Structure 1
Amino acid sequence: MIQAFKKLWPQRAAVENISSMEELETYMRIELNDELTHPRVRKSKSEKLQLALDRIEQSDLSVEEKNEIAELYKKIAAH
């Protein structure tokens, strides 16, 4: 799943350093919380989740990879 995630975000330097599922989940959590954006322009977790799901759906990943990553995003967003 880590390699599929790296294919999903090829231009992000931080993604290249992900080497474990724990790091992947941490990165997803940061993304969903929009922590790298200035507080005044942050989007809600639900907006960020929808953007991620849209990106996954439009990607060239296999159906299985898309489903696995989407489910992990949903799981993390629910917590």
Structure 2
Amino acid sequence: MIESYQKLWPQRSAAEQIRTQDELEKYVLIELNDELTHPRVRKSKQQKLEIALMRISESDLSESEKTSLASLYKKLASQ
């Protein structure tokens, strides 16, 4: 799943450095919580989830990679 995430975000240097499932989940949570955006313009977790799911569905990943990544995002968004 790490490789799938890295394919989804090829321009992110942080994505290239992910080596473990825990690190992957950490970065997905940072993305879902919009932590890298200024607080006044942050989107809700639900909005970020919808954006991520759209990006996944429109990507060139295989269907199994899309399903796995989408499941991970949904699982982490519900926490």
Opposite residue 43 of structure 1, the aligned amino acid is K
Unaligned runs of 5+ in 2: none
Q: Displaced runs of 4+ in structure 1, greater than 4 A?
A: none
**Whole-Å separation in 1 of the counterparts to 2:32 and 2:5:** 15
Q: TM-score, normalised by structure 1?
A: 0.99
2:42 aligned residue: 42
1:23 aligned residue: 23
Query: RMSD between aligned alpha carbons?
Result: 0.3
1:69 aligned residue: 69
Q: Give the superposition deviation at 1:38.
A: 0.2
Opposite residue 29 of structure 1, the aligned amino acid is L
2:7 aligned residue: 7
Matched residues, percent identical? 62
Opposite residue 13 of structure 2, the aligned amino acid is A
**Whole-Å separation in 2 of the counterparts to 1:12 and 1:19:** 14
Q: TM-score, normalised by structure 2?
A: 0.99
